[in-house]
Structure 1
Amino acid sequence: MDPLDGVAAFVRVVEAGSFSAAARRLHISKSATSAHVQRLEERLGVRLLQRTTRRLSLTQAGATYYRHCARIVEQAEFAEQAAHALQREPRGILSISAPDTFGPMHVAPAIPEFLARFPELAIDISLSPRHVDLVQEGHDLAIRIGTLKDSPLVARRLAPSRFVLCAAPAYLKKRGVPRAPDDLLRHVCFGMSLMPWGDEWHLVSAKGEHRIAARGLLRSNSADILRIAALQGLGIALLPSWAVGDELRSGTLTRILPGCEPPASTIYAVYPSNRLMSAKVRAFVDHLARRIGRVPYWEKGL
């Protein structure tokens, strides 16, 4: 038996003046209420209530014990109400982990509107290229890209993450535009160490699979660094469309070999539990999903 059950039953009996009235407040039977109080007295080794056929009265020990316990039960009720309120309305601190490039580009811009809508919320966002342990590091929510390993985490799909080949117009003017996947072998191709293929691009086209050695002058685990290098005309990058959508629309980067790319990955929101999903997590995931859209905004016009 939880000791607090006996404490709560005792306090309610004193306040209600009878076991029957206390049982109604506790939503349990009269016999269960009486049993809780009896076990409490046995555990304490002291009688708390004098019982007669007509009335109940506190013993001296019971009166002292009640003064302390009443405050405990009151604070427990306040705590329970606060917990319920957090489930109903977004408030408190929302701790988010996001990838170090996708986070600034697509999570951070969604935050101001969200905070304006929920003024009782604050956000603590951490950026990392790795998949952090949400429970161990105390995060409510993480944005992850790629294949998810089996885990107790709940995942909600937000958008596809499609890769495109791209380069600056100045580079293509100088080195020529690749017309077939094998043409890439004569070009400077950046390696992306964060991705499974590393220094070998695995591309798929209507003609099958193509493996291209990406052993140019630059290798990085950062899509942002590779995007900047491509903009400066250093070579060809294989990057997610969410990282270069604006540049492709503006023409500062040119897409190469459309239809020849790796299989699309997926962007997820992951969180520890859906059964007791807090209002703040639900609200932010819904907000981010709406902002991205069914067709991701970074894909429009490509």
Structure 2
Amino acid sequence: MDPLEGVTAFTRVVDSGSFSAAARHLKISKSAVSANVQRLEQRLGIRLLNRTTRRLSMTEAGAAYYHHCARILAEAEAAEQAATALQREPRGTLRISAPDSFGWMHVAPTVPAFLKRYPELSIDISLSQAYVNLVDERLDLAIRIGVLEDSPLVVRKLAPSRLVACAAPAYLREHGAPREPDDLAKHNCLYTDLLPWGGEWRLAGKRGEVRVAVSGNLRTNSAEMLRVAALQGVGIAVLPTWAAGEPLRAGALQRVLEAWKLPASTIYAVYPGNRLMSMKVRAFVDHLIRCFGRTPYWDDGL
């Protein structure tokens, strides 16, 4: 038995919700689909699906296995597309969701060159902090930042997202710069709901991780609003370097507590695992990685 036959059959059954629908999709008989899944279960020595007359559901082992199967099929499709890339070009509409601040600062500038390179492709992009369901919203791709939930989404890393504590020179001249994390209690600290730890900043140094409860007169879910407030001298903010890199290089913001590190996260491209990665998705993700660079350009000089 070709191992991919069982993997494909199992994945299509889960995606479509039934053996009959999977058979129609694969253009084989229902009994062939069932046989492929059974042989896969026998080879693995585990039950992947709970079958009753009324419903079909994955076992715990099946759910874990499905996550990997979706990746395998996507990679197989990507390999096939790579082999024929010289004869074909992306076309159609690419539907994307991206965080608003990061989207307009770093995704939007990459779009014109991409559209110029692929004239038969159009882009429909939505910028929002909302955590959208790609399948329900019929999206091809989403850009997400932070820790991802376990899901069948296929994930590709785009760039690191580092954090820095910073403030405007005017604020630091008036209030002084904190020398230790505990000094933050004396400062107006601006914070965001985008970070999972919110008003409890976490800094790592020689004596390990220190958690400091901060307070201030501004709380927002927008990295851009936080940056503007920090630039205007309102207080100290924790900002991702993709938002603070330019004003830090220009001296409009200054880092504080440089000996202490804040938790870093990652910027990802994600797409539905029950849809093989199309050429248009792969082309755009590759384009973003080229534009951002191995070390992202927003970290230059930092």
Superposed pair shares fold, TM > 0.5: yes
Partner deviation per Cα, 1:121-164 (whole Å, 9 max, x = no partner): 11111011122100100110000001111111100011111100
Instruction: Identify which range, 182-191 or 165-174, moves more after superposition.
Output: 182-191
Q: Verify the 8 A CA contact 1:91 1:120 in the aligned structure 2.
A: yes
Aligned to 2:73: none
Where in structure 1 do 4 or more consecutive aligned residues deviate above 6 Å?
none
Matches within 5 A, 1:73-222: 88-222=88-222
Q: Verify the 8 A CA contact 1:167 1:230 in the aligned structure 2.
A: yes
Aligned to 1:297: 297
CA, structure 1 residues 193+242, in 2 after alignment: closer, same or farther (shift >3 Å)?
same
* Inter-partner Cα distance in structure 2 for 1:185 and 1:271: 42
Q: Which has the larger radius of gyration?
A: 1
* Inter-partner Cα distance in structure 2 for 1:185 and 1:211: 11
Aligned to 2:267: 267
* Inter-partner Cα distance in structure 1 for 2:128 and 2:165: 24
Q: Verify the 8 A CA contact 1:194 1:222 in the aligned structure 2.
A: yes
Q: Verify the 8 A CA contact 2:152 2:274 in the aligned structure 1.
A: no
Query: Displacement of 1:221 after TM fit?
Result: 0.9
* Inter-partner Cα distance in structure 2 for 1:115 and 1:265: 29
Q: Which amino acid is the alignment partner of residue 181 of structure 2?
A: P
TM-score (norm: length of structure 1): 0.70
Instruction: Identify which range, 269-278 or 167-176, moves more after superposition.
Output: 269-278
Q: Which amino acid is the alignment partner of residue 139 of structure 1?
A: L
Query: Displacement of 1:274 after TM fit?
Result: 8.3
Instruction: Identify which range, 188-197 or 289-298, moves more after superposition.
Output: 188-197
Q: Verify the 8 A CA contact 1:158 1:289 in the aligned structure 2.
A: yes
Q: Which amino acid is the alignment partner of residue 151 of structure 2?
A: S
Q: Verify the 8 A CA contact 1:171 1:234 in the aligned structure 2.
A: yes
Matches within 5 A, 1:218-257: 218-257=218-257
Aligned to 1:287: 287
Query: Displacement of 1:205 after TM fit?
Result: 1.6
Q: Verify the 8 A CA contact 2:93 2:123 in the aligned structure 1.
A: yes
Q: Percent identity?
A: 65
Q: Which amino acid is the alignment partner of residue 222 of structure 1?
A: S
Q: Which amino acid is the alignment partner of residue 111 of structure 1?
A: V
Query: Displacement of 1:194 after TM fit?
Result: 2.2
Give the match's secondary structure for 2:270. Answer: strand
Aligned to 2:18: none
Query: Displacement of 1:223 after TM fit?
Result: 0.8
Give the match's secondary structure for 2:100. Answer: coil
* Inter-partner Cα distance in structure 2 for 1:150 and 1:259: 33
Number of matched residues? 221
Q: Unpaired runs of 5+ in structure 2?
A: 1-22, 28-83
* Inter-partner Cα distance in structure 2 for 1:263 and 1:230: 20
Give the match's secondary structure for 2:215. Answer: coil
Give the match's secondary structure for 1:286. Answer: helix
Aligned to 1:22: none
Query: Displacement of 1:220 after TM fit?
Result: 0.6
- Please report the RMSD computed on the Cα atoms of aligned residues, expressed in angstroms: 2.0
Give the match's secondary structure for 1:137. Answer: coil
Query: Displacement of 1:88 after TM fit?
Result: 3.8
Query: Displacement of 1:192 after TM fit?
Result: 1.1
* Inter-partner Cα distance in structure 1 for 2:175 and 2:110: 39
Give the match's secondary structure for 2:135. Answer: helix
* Inter-partner Cα distance in structure 2 for 1:108 and 1:275: 25
Query: Displacement of 1:165 after TM fit?
Result: 0.3
* Inter-partner Cα distance in structure 2 for 1:110 and 1:157: 17
Q: Verify the 8 A CA contact 2:185 2:215 in the aligned structure 1.
A: no
Q: Verify the 8 A CA contact 1:165 1:261 in the aligned structure 2.
A: no
Q: Unpaired runs of 5+ in structure 1?
A: 6-83
